[in-house]
Amino acid sequence: MSDAWVALLDRFEADLDEATAVLAPWTPPTTPIPAHLHDRAHTVLRRQQERIALMGQVLDDVRHQLEVLRMVPADGRWDAPAYLDVNG
């Protein structure tokens, strides 16, 4: 019964193609993946791994930006230096 696997791979591909996809829980089919779908499944897995790596980079960038923002005085005092060194 490869129909369930085809539908699941279709869904994963659509999620990867849609930047704002709302990911919902899923359940793998109860049968092993058919041999003729192995290459497609490996391609989907590679794309998912690439997306995970990209999200890790984005998360690191956001964390860095938050660290820099925490250096800015929040109490309205501006007697601190007028320039913020974000590279050093």
27-84: pLDDT as tens digits: 999 999 999 999 999 999 999 999 999 999 999 999 999 998 887 777 666 665 667 6
Please give the pLDDT value at position 21: 74
pTM for the model: 0.70
Closest to 29 in 3D by CA, of 56, 11, 2, 52:
2
Which tokens go with 17?
Answer: 């193609």
Instruction: Say if residues 10 and 37 touch (Cβ distance below 8 Å).
Output: no
